[in-house]
């Protein structure tokens, strides 16, 4: 299968039929999404380095894969993300406070999935893929036409649960698009030690419709995901999109990628930066004027400032919240533990 490309590494549009659907508005919108995501990502990275966040996993380099895919589905299509999908989350209106809370350690998740139709991050690899399939079975039973989009990484594809999800979706014809951001690495493990055949081929073997797309080409990602989603929406059965991209940063702020990959490899991918590539097109075609860029810079600066502000402003949670929401039906044992701990804490205050 050939990798689907619309916008070459040189920033030129191919003569693919889908290129005709590319409009200046679309490009400006996708460009804005990517620029804002990169700003949030780099601010969060800095905040982690300053000790304001416990950990951060950058989406640097993967903006096209995320923005292109989420902008290709409807706003009411539910999304089941992995944990590095900040660009996609931003597109769904999830703000910096919600995005940073988990990594600051003040909450285990940041937003209400129902409000944004965007699930909470899943740190246990591949678990969300089965949830997506189940949710899609619900869509089938409700007789509505949402398409469920589920993100995962190349490394996660080796988990049994990922493969159960592919198989299950194919068996019940669930309306789900599995979207793999194949960023070449799973922490220090390259894809060559993760699978023996390309993932898109495996997916086809399970009976999924497949797309292999240049994940740093936001237009190709957009077109391929749209194609996949529309097939699914028409009842054509589940699909898998494999987007070839690259994790430009370390796995997380705790990682030291110099231990396992070369500067030459990074250079190769730097030349394929998804934002630069679209910028080249915008510039050549004259689709974005100076005012657009000035506005966008200002917007990014504002997002950066807001990110820093809301991050530092997040207070530590009250200890008693630990006992909330464990069992919706409540439990006397838990209530006793909560009250006991409150009394214990109060005893210090009494003492002092």
Partner 1 sequence: MTTTLSRALTTALHHALETDPKVLVMGQDVGGLGGVFRVTDGLQKDFGPDRVIDTPIAEAGIVGTAIGLAQRGYRPVCEIQFDGFVYPAFNQIVSQLAKMHARTGGAITLPVVIRIPVSGGIGAVEHHSESNEAYFAHTAGLRVVAAATPQDAHWLLRQAIESDDPVIFFEPKCRYWSKGEVADGPDLPMHAARTVRPGGDLTLLTWGSMVETCLAAAAAAEEEGHDLEVVDLRSLAPIDVEALVGAVGRTGRAVVVHEAPVTGGLGGEVAASLAERCFDRLEAPVRRVGGFDVPYPAARLESHYRPDLDRVLDAVDRTLAY
Ligand X SMILES: Cc1ncc(C[n+]2csc(CCOP(=O)(O)OP(=O)(O)O)c2C)c(N)n1
Window contacting ligand X (CB under 6 A); options: 65-73, 96-104, 179-187, 313-321: 179-187
Member of 20, 259, 286, 290 binding partner 1 (CB under 8 A): 259
Q: How far is the CB of 145 from its own copies (least distance, A)?
A: 20
Per DSSP, the three-state class of 81 is: coil
- Token pair 């909470």 in the structure block, residue: 120
Interface segment toward partner 1; rule CB under 8 A; list 58-66, 184-192, 205-213, 296-304: 184-192
Closest CA to 257 of 60, 105, 9, 36: 60
Asked if residue 118 lies in contact with residue 151, where contact means CB atoms within 8 angstroms, the answer is: no
Q: How far is the CB of 133 from its own copies (least distance, A)?
A: 12
Q: Which of residues 203-262 bind its own copies (CB under 8 A)?
A: 203-208, 237
Give me the residues paired with residue 242 across strands.
180, 212
Nearer to partner 1, 34 or 174 (CB): 174
- Per the residue annotation, which of 12, 49, 74, 260 is the catalytic one? 260
* Catalytic position from the list 227, 251, 308, 338: 251
Select from 238, 211, 209 the least CA-distant residue to 150: 238
> How many Å is the maximal CA-CA distance in the chain?
77
Of 84, 117, 202, 247, which one is the catalytic site residue? 247
Dihedrals phi, psi of 153, to nearest 5 degrees: -110, 165
CA 343 from centre of chain: 42
Q: Which stretch binds Mg ion (CB under 5 A): 20-28, 175-183, 203-211, 313-321?
A: 175-183
Q: Cα–Cα distance between 101 and 47 in angstroms, integer?
A: 12
- Tell me which residues in 129-158 interact with Mg ion (CB under 5 A): 153-155
Kindly state whether residue 153 participates in binding ligand X, applying the rule CB under 6 A.
Answer: yes
Residue 257 interacts with which of Mg ion, ligand X, its own copies, none, CB < 5 to 8 Å by class: none
The interface partner of residue 183, options being partner 1, Mg ion, its own copies, none and the CB cut-off 5 to 8 Å by kind, is Mg ion
Q: Choose the contact partner of 136 out of its own copies, ligand X, partner 1, none; CB within 5 to 8 A by kind.
A: partner 1
Residue 113 burial class via C-beta count within 10 angstroms: exposed 0-12, middle 13-18, buried 19 and up: middle
Q: Which residues pair with 112 in a beta bridge?
A: none
Q: Strands 209-214 and 148-153: what pairing?
A: unpaired
Q: Which is nearer to ligand X, 161 or 230 (CB)?
A: 161
268 binds its own copies (CB under 8 A): no
Per rule CB under 8 A, is residue 341 in the interface with its own copies?
no
Find, among 136, 210, 205, the residue nearest to 179 by Cα.
210
Applying CB under 8 A, does 187 fall inside the site for partner 1?
A: yes
Q: Does 160 bind partner 1 (CB under 8 A)?
A: yes
Select the residue interacting with ligand X from 43, 77, 154, 211 (CB under 6 A).
154
DSSP 318: P
Using CB under 5 A as the binding rule, whether residue 250 contacts Mg ion is answered as no
Least CB distance to ligand X at residue 125 (A): 4
User: What's phi and psi for 209, nearest 5 deg?
Assistant: -70, 140
CA-nearest of 21, 61, 53 to 276 is 61
First-to-last alpha carbon distance for the chain, in angstroms, is 71
227 catalytic? Reply is no
Give SS3 for 78: coil
Residue 31 falls in the annotated catalytic set:
no
The yes or no reply on residue 319 touching partner 1 (CB under 8 A) is yes
In this chain, which of 128, 156, 245, 253 binds ligand X, going by CB under 6 A?
156
Number of residues near ligand X (by CB under 6 A): 14
Residue carrying structure tokens 């990594």: 103
Give the residues lining the site for Mg ion (CB under 5 A): 153-155, 183, 186
Could you give the residue numbers annotated as active site? 247, 251, 260
């Amino acid at each position: 299968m050939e990798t689907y490309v619309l916008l070459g590494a040189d920033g030129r549009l191919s003569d693919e039929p889908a290129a005709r659907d590319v409009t200046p508005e679309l490009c400006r919108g996708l460009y804005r999404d990517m620029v804002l995501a990169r700003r949030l990502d780099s601010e969060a990275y800095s905040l982690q380095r300053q000790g304001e966040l416990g950990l951060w996993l950058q989406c640097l380099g993967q903006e096209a894969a995320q923005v292109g895919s989420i902008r290709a589905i409807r706003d009411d299509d539910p999304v089941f993300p992995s944990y590095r999908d900040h660009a996609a989350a931003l597109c769904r209106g999830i703000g910096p406070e919600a995005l940073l809370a988990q990594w600051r350690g003040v909450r285990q998740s940041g937003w209400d999935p129902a409000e944004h139709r965007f699930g909470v991050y899943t740190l246990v690899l591949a678990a969300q893929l089965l949830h997506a399939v189940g949710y899609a079975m619900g869509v089938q039973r409700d007789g509505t036409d949402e398409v469920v989009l589920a993100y995962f990484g190349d490394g996660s594809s080796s988990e049994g649960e990922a493969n159960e999800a592919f198989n299950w979706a194919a068996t019940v014809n669930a309306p789900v698009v599995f979207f793999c951001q194949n960023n070449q690495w799973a922490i220090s493990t390259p894809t060559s030690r993760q699978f023996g055949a390309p993932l898109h081929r495996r997916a086809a073997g399970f009976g999924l419709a497949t797309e292999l797309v240049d994940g740093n080409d936001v237009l190709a990602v957009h077109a391929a995901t749209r194609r996949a989603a529309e097939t699914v929406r028409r009842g054509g059965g589940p699909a898998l999109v494999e987007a070839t991209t690259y994790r430009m940063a370390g796995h997380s702020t705790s990682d030291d990628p110099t231990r396992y990959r070369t500067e030459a490899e990074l250079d190769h991918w730097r030349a394929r930066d998804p934002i630069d590539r679209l910028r080249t097109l915008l510039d050549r075609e004259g689709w974005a004027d100076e005012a657009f860029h000035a506005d966008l810079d200002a917007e990014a600066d504002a997002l950066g400032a807001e990110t820093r502000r809301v991050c530092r402003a997040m207070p530590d949670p009250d200890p008693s919240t630990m006992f909330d929401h464990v069992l919706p039906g409540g439990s006397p044992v838990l209530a006793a533990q909560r009250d006991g701990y409150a009394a214990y804490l109060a005893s210090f205050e009494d003492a002092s």
